[in-house]
Amino acid sequence: MITILEQPLKIPGGLRLDANKSQSLGAALRRARIPERLFVPLSQHIGEAAEPLLEVGDSILKGQPIARSHSYISAPLHAPTSGRIIDIGAYPAPHPSGLKADCIVIEADGEDRAGPDSLRMDDVFEADPADIRQRVRNAGIVGLGGAGFPTSVKLNPGPDREVELLVINGAECEPYISCDESLMCYRTREVIDGVHIMRHALRARQVVIGIEDTMPKAISCLQNELDVAGDTDIRVIAVPTVYPAGGEKQLIYILTGEEVPSQGLPIDLGIVCHNVGTAAAIGRALLQGEPLIARVVTVTGAGVRQPANLEVRIGTPIAELIEQCGGYTDKVARLLMGGPMMGLSLPSDAIPVIKTTNCILAASIEEAPAPLPAQPCIRCGKCAEVCPACLLPQQLYWYAHARNFDKIQDYKLFDCIECGCCTQVCPSHIPLVQYYRFAKTEIWDQEREREKADMARHRHEFRLERLQREKQELQQRRAKAKKALNKPKVGDAESRKAEIAAALERVKARKAKQSVTARNTDNLTEEQRAEIAEIDKRRTSGHKEDRA
């Protein structure tokens, strides 16, 4: 039995950071203009990239599927607006490598005409959870709060697993990012609709929405909506504002005191956690029939004139958003996708918004200072003090640096949530998180190589086995044939006798025929007989001449 605590706990470690959210919360959430061209990357989330369904030149309607997903951990893509596909190829995309990625390029026709609706479920609260999961998958919904894990997978607890608690994560803890807060304030109904659908799909016994205590407006909006609907069994709880309280494991601990086991999942405890943005996307898809073609993005930082929260179509280039927020100021120094702690540094504003883009931070040099040169670790232990996952960051760094990928896993590398607290406090300016990301990538690559080698070895062993089996079968067939040849056949003498008898019969019949032919001459006239005698005579003399 999971108990929702009356008094939320504090996470170990963590940092109290300046929120810097008021800049973007000054205005109401609004819809961004649809750009003339949208660039929809085929890979926008954890799992396999989607595969294009249409070709260059094809016309499309808003919400029409444009790329399908084959694997379980993947999600389809939909046209963000109506228009025409003008290219499928490599374009700038948000990726740590900075390399281009395959995108479907759409030229908008300005009409924003929607295609047929195949997602809406009028009887969603009567529907089978499997049908709901399938619609959520068809809608291309992924987790909008983090790495973008396909939501349909997280809505499936698996056989014989009961969901005791559904946690809705509204604790948007990273500075500058306010898209979830804005969503909770301005799209409250969609959030609550999604929460109800998720509760039904998971058959969750309890539901709690965790929101940082510095978001009173969001808390009151949700609570009012629940009160109006008479929803007394969904609780809204204010949690202490500390970074990274919005981490999945951290929020579960704060609300319940339960610790997700190392390398385990919340479902191991009977808990499932979803982001508020994901809830709103589900509400919108299953009750309004709109797949995931837009999301709320915070555009902020001292480098942009009018920070705001905008509802943006997926595929919109960042340059368009900056322009719609008044353009750059002369303070802009760096562009980040995400916040200052976990954000991805962008090489250009041609990069489009994807499903997991929560914030565009046009940062000044003070907001995102250039990293200072790293110095040797002085073993001060400050990184361990702030680690919310209770890890030893300096040990992780040491083994990552030494490329000792076995040992680093003993120190629970995969429990690191890459929050960046350790990097933030390190007096030696060591980019610790980069080392952890590098180590994780190397380990995943090694595992993939090992899997490939294992598969190749299995294939080789299977082939050898097959060849050996075929050889044995051939030998057996040959031995059998030889044996059959040498074996005296039953009835051989009898059949020989029969053959001889048949041959004798044939000779007899021939002779009989000849005598019949001879007897036929009896009826010849004298003239005919003389003629035959003449022919015989000529034939006989001919034979003699031949012999001569």
Interacting residues with ligand SF4 (CB under 6 A): 377-383, 386-389, 391, 393-394, 396-397, 416-422, 426-428, 430, 432-433, 436
User: Is-contact 430 371, C-beta < 8 A?
Assistant: no
Nearer to ligand SF4, 202 or 433 (CB): 433
| Phi and psi torsions of 399, nearest 5° | -75, -30
Place of tokens 């396909």: 150
Closest approach, Cβ 380 to ligand SF4, in A, equals 4
Count Cα neighbours of 529 within 13 Å in the Cβ-side half-sphere. Answer: 9
Closest approach, Cβ 276 to ligand SF4, in A, equals 23
Nearer to ligand SF4, 171 or 396 (CB): 396
Nearer to ligand SF4, 220 or 395 (CB): 395
Nearer to ligand SF4, 380 or 532 (CB): 380
Q: Which of 200, 123, 211 is nearest to 155 (CA)?
A: 200
Q: What is the dihedral of CA 352, 353, 354, 355, to 10 degrees?
A: -170
Question: Could you please report the per-residue DSSP string of 42-58?
Answer: S--SSSPPPEE-S-TT-
* Distant-in-sequence, close-in-space partners of 433: CB < 8 Å, separation ≥ 6: 418, 420, 422, 423
Closest approach, Cβ 98 to ligand SF4, in A, equals 22
User: Is-contact 246 174, C-beta < 8 A?
Assistant: yes
Q: In what order do the strands lie in the sheet with 294-300?
A: 30-31, 308-313, 294-300, 359-363, 334-337, 344-345
Report d(CA 50, CA 56) in Å as an integer.
Answer: 16
| Phi and psi torsions of 70, nearest 5° | -95, -40
Closest approach, Cβ 266 to ligand SF4, in A, equals 17
Closest approach, Cβ 414 to ligand SF4, in A, equals 10
User: Is-contact 140 314, C-beta < 8 A?
Assistant: no
Closest approach, Cβ 384 to ligand SF4, in A, equals 7
| Phi and psi torsions of 298, nearest 5° | -90, 125
User: Is-contact 241 212, C-beta < 8 A?
Assistant: yes
Count Cα neighbours of 439 within 13 Å in the Cβ-side half-sphere. Answer: 30
Nearer to ligand SF4, 104 or 413 (CB): 413
Nearer to ligand SF4, 183 or 342 (CB): 342
Closest approach, Cβ 21 to ligand SF4, in A, equals 21
Nearer to ligand SF4, 66 or 426 (CB): 426
Nearer to ligand SF4, 88 or 387 (CB): 387
Can you say whether the dihedral through the CA atoms of 258, 260, 261, 264 is positive or negative? positive
Closest approach, Cβ 402 to ligand SF4, in A, equals 14
Closest approach, Cβ 246 to ligand SF4, in A, equals 13
Nearer to ligand SF4, 13 or 41 (CB): 13
